[in-house]
Amino acid sequence: MAALTYHLTTFGCQMNEHDSERIDGLLESLGYSPAAGPDEADLILLNTCSIRESADRRLATQLGNAKRFKAARPGVVVGVGGCWAQSLKQEVFERYPFVDVAFGPGQVDQLGEFLLADSIEAQGYFEFDGFTADLPMRAVQSAQAWMQISVGCNQKCSYCIVPSTRGLEVSRPFNDLVAEAKVLVARGAREITLLGQNVNSYGRDLRPDRRTFSELLTAVDAVDGLDRLRYTSPHPQDMGAEVVAAHVALPSLCEHIHLPLQSGSSRILKAMRRTYDRERYLGRVAMIRDAVPDISLTTDIIVGFPGETEEDFQQTLDLVSEVQFDAAYTFIYSARRDTEAALITEGVVPAELASERIGRLIELVQENAELRAQRFVGRSVEVLVEGPSRTDPDRVRGRTRHNKPVNFSGLAKAGELVDVEIESATSTSLRGHATMLASALR
Ligand code: SAH
Ligand code: SF4
Ligand code: F3S
């Protein structure tokens, strides 16, 4: 019998992408190999997200396809994991009876148990039993690796579905993380990104020894052979002086911070339950820029939160002009089930107005990003190579420590560190030519 094949589609954030890598590793260890497409796979998996309505819509299309493939080949097994599955729980099976297995975020091991069970019948796995650390790792490790340092979120942002899909925050043990970082580096990782919904509240729940996020940064930075360390996302509330000091002190910690803003209006921030106001956010930015003037700052912004007036929105625009982010992800507010904001009936921003606002915001964000990117022109920057350029096969693609994508001319393989002289910059990427192999100097 030919070996079983699988096809996995991933939606949502890096945490889901990371879970998907773990699913790949698990399935490889069970003897599955990747199928060319979902129509050929014995096992069709969807790792789902529910952060906005658009995510639900994309998923509905994929579920429809899976249903068709299964109708054509009845032996096919369909599984859905991740946040959407978690938020619907048993309803998944009622609404989509062709689904064989559903599991929540992080419960990748449960998928394994299901696949190994004697009889395959629909079962859900929806307890928050944390993060299963010791799954087989994927065979191919790229130079960039993710490491999830906590699961869940203790914040109560009124618009957000995550606390109800990922549960309360649980930090993974400090020593496990340092050990995992060593394994990742031994397997070829040069860059590690620490993942969590609120990474800088890491360690407060650890008993008997509480640990801090900056202690974790220090310990991972000390791992021999690690060139770059990143993290996402920190919460402005917990972005303290020690974390900023770590950016100055730790050689591997990159010159980039993603600091989600959400709104520039203190009134809206309060309604969002973000626990900081406009001034406090600006204070954090000032503290960061004092310590590392050249740092790249990126952010997330929601427009059209219920009650947002033109004046509130103007405050967001003003703050964006003042801070000059290197990039910003912008979203139109989307009401989510089981969230506090979904119950607000007053001041709902009509869709047309919200999309007009986001258009204005994006224009400003792009102007700033392009302006900010000019500071790299003429500079020589270190690039971690990812592979051939997607648009021009004669060029090479990589990323700077400031997290800017670069396309450059020169010869370099994925995983190498190269010095690149920057010739030009747009709002989204840099262009240049390689000068020498930085890694050759080590
Ligand atoms: N834990 C991170 C990221 C959460 S999800 C943080 O707190 O920043 C990523 C982004 O999606 C959020 O920062 C927010 O900007 C956006 N988002 C979350 N829920 C949303 C909703 N209901 N509607 C629109 N955007 C949303
Ligand atoms: Fe959601 Fe807020 Fe937690 Fe981020 S910090 S995951 S936006 S509740
Ligand atoms: Fe989506 Fe869950 Fe991440 S809702 S954004 S996959 S935490």
List the domains of the chain with CATH numbers. 5-125 (3.40.50.12160), 141-254 (3.30.750.210), 377-439 (2.40.50.140)
Helix axes 213-221, 241-249, angle to 10 degrees: 10
Neighbours of 311 (CB within 10 A): 9
Residue 105 is predicted with a pLDDT of 87
Q: How far is the CA of 271 from the centre of ligand 2 (A)?
A: 14
Of 340, 319, 326, the closest CA to residue 263 belongs to 319
Amino acid at 350: P
CB 233 within 8 A of CB 199: yes
Cα three-residue angle 273-275-281, rounded to 5 degrees: 120
Q: What single-letter DSSP state applies at residue 85?
A: H
Q: From 302, 303, 325, 348, give the residue whose CB has the most ligand 1 atoms within 8 Å, as the site to mutate.
A: 302
What residue has token string 């030519």?
A: 433
Q: Does residue 260 have its Cβ closer than 6 Å to ligand 1? A: yes
Q: Is 331 in the pocket of ligand 3 (CB under 6 A)?
A: no
Provide the sign of the torsion angle of the four alpha carbons 178, 182, 183, 187, taken in this order.
positive
Q: Ligand 3, from 47, 54, 56, 162: best to mutate by most atoms within 8 Å of Cβ?
A: 162
Out of 154, 156, 198, 269, give the residue to mutate to test ligand 2, the one with the largest number of ligand atoms within 8 Å of its CB. Answer: 198
pLDDT of residue 413: 92
Amino acid in the structure at residue 273: R
Q: How many CB atoms lie within 10 A of CB 397?
A: 20
> Which tokens in the block code for residue 391?
């648009």
Smallest CA-to-CA distance from 170 within 136, 127, 138, 135 is with: 127
CA–CA dist 265, 250 (Å, integer): 34
- Which among 434, 383, 424 has a CA at the least distance from the CA of 144? 383
| Per-residue H/E/C for 349-399 | CCHHHHHHHHHHHHHHHHHHHHHHHHHHCCCEEEEEEEEECCCCCCCEEEE
> Tokens at residue 84, please?
């959407």
Residue 359: partners with Cβ closer than 8 Å, 6 or more residues away:
none
- In our burial notation (b when 16+ CB lie closer than 10 A, e otherwise), range 93-125 reads beebebbbbbbbbbbbbbbbebbeeeeeebebb
- What's the distance, Cα to Cα, between the start and end of the chain in Å? 49
Residue 113 neighbours by CB under 8 Å, 6+ apart: none
Residue with tokens 């820029």: 289
Omega of the bond prior to 208 within 30 degrees of 0, cis? yes
Residue 378: count other Cβ atoms within 10 Å of its Cβ: 10
Instruction: Look at residue 438 in the predicted model and tell me its pLDDT.
Output: 55
Centre of ligand 1 to C-alpha 353, Å, is: 20
Our answer on whether the CB atom of 336 is closer than 6 Å to any ligand 1 atom is yes
Within 158-273, strands assigned E span 170-171, 191-195, 228-232, 256-258
Residue 259: the pLDDT is 98
The string over 323-361, giving b where at least 16 C-beta atoms fall within 10 Å of a residue's C-beta and e elsewhere, is: bebbbbebbbbbebeebebeebeeeebeeeebeebbeeb
Question: For the chain (length 442 residues), average pLDDT per consecutive 10?
Answer: 87 92 92 94 95 90 94 93 90 91 87 81 71 67 91 95 91 95 95 96 93 98 98 96 98 98 98 98 98 98 98 98 98 95 96 98 98 98 94 92 96 94 97 76 46
CA angle 9, 12, 17 (to 5 degrees): 60
Nearest to 43 by CA among 19, 59, 16, 23: 23
